[in-house]
C-alpha cells in the first residue's frame, strides 16, 4: 500500500508565534518585544517561503519513499544498514527542505549515495550539499561531462554554469551494471541518446521499483534536449529499454508526474513512436518546422498532454544531427 503524507511548512517557532499573535494585542506585543514588527515580517516571510516549497511524500514500502514537489520526483531508499541512497535531488533552491524531508523519512540516516539520472538542474540540486558531505555522486559519464562545462541552449536565454568540482559526479559508468548499497541490490543502465545523452535508469529488483529518470515525463510533454544529445527517436528506444526492465507489477517512477505501471509505459512508448514516425516522415520530405507544426503530429494527444508546440519544435530540431549530420 502506498501512503502519502503532506509535510507542513510551518516550524514549531512559527506555530508558537502565531498563537502569541492571536492572544496578544499589538501594543502589548511591542512592550514585550521591541522588535515586534521585525519578527512579524520574518514570520510571514518564513510562512510564505516555506509554502512555496511544500513537499509531499509517498511511502512505497520496503524502505522506499517518493518525495514530490522539489522540482522532480525524488526516490529515497534506506538500506538495511541504515545508509540512504537518493535518486535525483530536485532544484537547488529547495535543497534545504528536501534534505530535511529525507532526514525525516529515514530517521536521520546518512545519505551515502546520490544518483543523477541526467544533468538538468531539477536532478542535481543536492549535488553541492551532499558532495560536500562526502556522499558518492553516481551518474553516466556524459552527465558528469555536461556538469563540468557551461551550457547555453539556442532556444532559450538561460545559461547553466558548471558545478563546483565537489558537486560533480564522483563515480560514473558507460553501459549497464549493478551495485550493492548497504545490502540493497541496485541495477542501473544507460538509456543512450533520449532526453539527453546521459540518461540512466535505476531499478530495485527485490522491491520491484524502477526510476526512469528524465525519459519519463508523466505530467506534460518532455523537453527534447537535443543540444545535449537527446532526440525523439532515442526517446522511443529508451522507452523500449524500460519496457524490457519492467514487469506487470513494477512501480515506475517518472521524472515528473504521478507513478506509472507497465501499461502506462507501453502507451507512452506507442504515443512517442507515432509522433516520431510522423515528424521524421515530414522531415525527410524537407518540411520546415512551421510545416511540421501545421500538420499537427500530436493532434489526438493534445487533450491529455497540453500544448505541444515547444515539444514539436525541439523534436523536429532533434532530427537534424541524425538525418543531416553535415548540415
Average pLDDT over residues 168-196: 97
Tally helices (H) and strands (E) across the chain: 12, 15
pTM (2 d.p.): 0.85
- The pLDDT assigned to 33 comes to 46
How confident is the prediction for the chain on average, in pLDDT?
89
Residue 5 pLDDT grade (very low, low, confident, very high; cuts 50, 70, 90) = low
Eight-class DSSP state of 287: -
The beta-strand segments (E) located in the chain are: 3-6, 56-61, 64-68, 74-78, 84-87, 111-115, 136-140, 151-152, 159-160, 171-173, 176-181, 184-190, 200-204, 209-211, 251-253
Per-residue b/e over 279-309, b at no fewer than 16 CB within 10 Å?
bbebbeeebebeebbeeebbeebeeebeebe
What digits encode the pLDDT tens for the residues 203-249?
A: 999 999 999 999 999 999 999 999 999 999 999 999 999 999 999 99
Average pLDDT over residues 119-134: 98
Q: 64-68 and 74-78: which strand pairing?
A: antiparallel
Cα 320 versus chain centre, distance: 27
Residue 324 pLDDT grade (very low, low, confident, very high; cuts 50, 70, 90) = confident
CA dihedral sign of residues 100, 106, 112, 115: negative
- The pLDDT assigned to 7 comes to 55
Give CA angle at 233 (232, 239), nearest 5°.
Answer: 90
Ranges of each domain in the chain:
1-54, 55-323
- The pLDDT assigned to 53 comes to 64
Q: Is the pLDDT reported for residue 36 higher than 70?
A: no
- What gap in Å lies between CA 122 and CA 154, rounded to an integer? 20
- What gap in Å lies between CA 52 and CA 46, rounded to an integer? 10
| Closest to 60 measured CA to CA, from 214, 204, 174 | 204
Q: With pLDDT > 70 as the criterion, what percentage of the chain qualifies?
A: 83
What is the greatest pairwise CA distance in the chain?
79
Assigned fold of 55-323:
Metallo-beta-lactamase; Chain A (3.60.15)
Amino acid at each position: 500500500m502506498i501512503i502519502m503524507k503532506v509535510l507542513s511548512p510551518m516550524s514549531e517557532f512559527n506555530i508558537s508565534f502565531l498563537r502569541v499573535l492571536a492572544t496578544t494585542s499589538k501594543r502589548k506585543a511591542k512592550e514585550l518585544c521591541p522588535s515586534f514588527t521585525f519578527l512579524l515580517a520574518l514570520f510571514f516571510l518564513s510562512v510564505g517561503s516555506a509554502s512555496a516549497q511544500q513537499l509531499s511524500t509517498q511511502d512505497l514500502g520496503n524502505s522506499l519513499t517518493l518525495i514530490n514537489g522539489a522540482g522532480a520526483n525524488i526516490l529515497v531508499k534506506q538500506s538495511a544498514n541504515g545508509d540512504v541512497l537518493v535518486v535525483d535531488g530536485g532544484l537547488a533552491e529547495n535543497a534545504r527542505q528536501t534534505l530535511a524531508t529525507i532526514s525525516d523519512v529515514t530517521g536521520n540516516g546518512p545519505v551515502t549515495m546520490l544518483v543523477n539520472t541526467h544533468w538538468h538542474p531539477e536532478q542535481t540540486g543536492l549535488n553541492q550539499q551532499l558532495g560536500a558531505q562526502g556522499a558518492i555522486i553516481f551518474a553516466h559519464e556524459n552527465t558528469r561531462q555536461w556538469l563540468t562545462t557551461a551550457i547555453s541552449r539556442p532556444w532559450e536565454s538561460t545559461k547553466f554554469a558548471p558545478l563546483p568540482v565537489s558537486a560533480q559526479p564522483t563515480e560514473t559508468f558507460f553501459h549497464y551494471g549493478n551495485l550493492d548499497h548497504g545490502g540493497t541490490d541496485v541495477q542501473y543502465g544507460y538509456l543512450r541518446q533520449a532526453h539527453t545523452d546521459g540518461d540512466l535508469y535505476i531499478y530495485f529488483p527485490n522491491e520491484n521499483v524502477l526510476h526512469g529518470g528524465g525519459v519519463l515525463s508523466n505530467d506534460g510533454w518532455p523537453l527534447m534536449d537535443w543540444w545535449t544529445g537527446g532526440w525523439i527517436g532515442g526517446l522511443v528506444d529508451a522507452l523500449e529499454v524500460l519496457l524490457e526492465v519492467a514487469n506487470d507489477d513494477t512501480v515506475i517512477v517518472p521524472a515528473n508526474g504521478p507513478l506509472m505501471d507497465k501499461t502506462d509505459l507501453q502507451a507512452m512508448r506507442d504515443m512517442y513512436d507515432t509522433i516520431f514516425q510522423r515528424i521524421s516522415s515530414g522531415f525527410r520530405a524537407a518540411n520546415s518546422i512551421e510545416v511540421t507544426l501545421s500538420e499537427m503530429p500530436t493532434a489526438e494527444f493534445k487533450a491529455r498532454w497540453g500544448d505541444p508546440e515547444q515539444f514539436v519544435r525541439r523534436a523536429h530540431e532533434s532530427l537534424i544531427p541524425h538525418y543531416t549530420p553535415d548540415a
